[in-house]
Structure 1
């Protein structure tokens, strides 16, 4: 009985070890592509203005703001769609040159990452319009 358990355990480790290795190799490209979809740079050095516009944009998209911290540059919001929860977390940071602000949005649908590029394109398009209107004092 003990040797059967040891054999089963060894076989389990061999199978899962190979599977984990393959998924890490395959997942790396997907993560880079996902990060690319989730990130945009905006030509403003005022991170506070960007965070305020992120909040406005999320509210315009029917999200309820859960947490916002202008000092850290983070905003978390939730939206209920047909009883399902969509959560978006947006992080802003200054670029290394200090002349622009980097914005990264991370969306989840019922705790599963959203990998549809259209979701991020729509968010960043709305944010870009909001920043343009803000910069040109249009209210």
Structure 2
């Protein structure tokens, strides 16, 4: 049988351990939801990195993505049509790596293009490089859709 002081100690240890564990879980939850250094949530970052295009032609979209990256000074490292993925690097005084994925949208009536940029192995969260890429891609998609060379 436990005496009263031992039972109190065990209860206090259990409460302290539970509090520490719950605090750790809360901290981990905040890190997962607020992943970037500047306070952007992963949902906000995904919105910056993604665009939908009114086409169902994955091959044409992939070719346009590759051409756009090359126009912006990137060298294509890998391209896989089946996976819908293109990786490219820009080496002009810095190492900027861009990975672009192309997949059909949920409705099946469009293509979702998502770009992911890294600068010296750190994720780029600034919207500017993504905006520049998507503006150029949108122009190229328009020209391709209207058969303009």
In structure 2, runs of 5+ residues without a counterpart are: 1-19
User: Alpha-carbon deviation of 1:19?
Assistant: 4.9
Q: TM-score, normalised by structure 2?
A: 0.77
User: Alpha-carbon deviation of 1:72?
Assistant: 1.5
Assess, with a 3 A threshold, how the Cα gap between structure 1 residues 21 and 128 changes in structure 2: closer, same or farther.
closer
Task: State the number of aligned residues.
Answer: 125
Where 2:82 maps in the other structure, the secondary structure is coil
Q: Quick one: which of 105, 125, 136 aligns to 2:115?
A: 105
- Kept in 1: contact 2:52–2:110 (CA 8 A): yes
The whole-number CA distance in structure 1 between the counterparts of 2:61 and 2:129 is: 19
User: Alpha-carbon deviation of 1:71?
Assistant: 1.8
User: Alpha-carbon deviation of 1:20?
Assistant: 3.8
Partner of 1:24: 32
Q: TM-score, normalised by structure 1?
A: 0.82
- Kept in 1: contact 2:33–2:41 (CA 8 A): no
In structure 1, runs of 5+ residues without a counterpart are: 1-13
User: Alpha-carbon deviation of 1:21?
Assistant: 4.7
Structural RMSD (CA)? 2.1
1:56 aligns with 2:67: yes
Partner of 2:103: 93
Runs of 4+ in structure 1 off by over 6 angstroms are none
The whole-number CA distance in structure 1 between the counterparts of 2:82 and 2:34 is: 36
Deviation sequence 1:68-105 (CA, Å, 0-9, x none): 011221100001131x2110000000012211000000
Assess, with a 3 A threshold, how the Cα gap between structure 1 residues 118 and 21 changes in structure 2: closer, same or farther.
same
Please list, as runs of the form range in 1=range in 2, the aligned pairs for 1:1-139 lying within 5 A after superposition: 17=24, 19-27=27-35, 30-82=41-93, 84-139=94-149
The whole-number CA distance in structure 2 between the counterparts of 1:95 and 1:125 is: 20
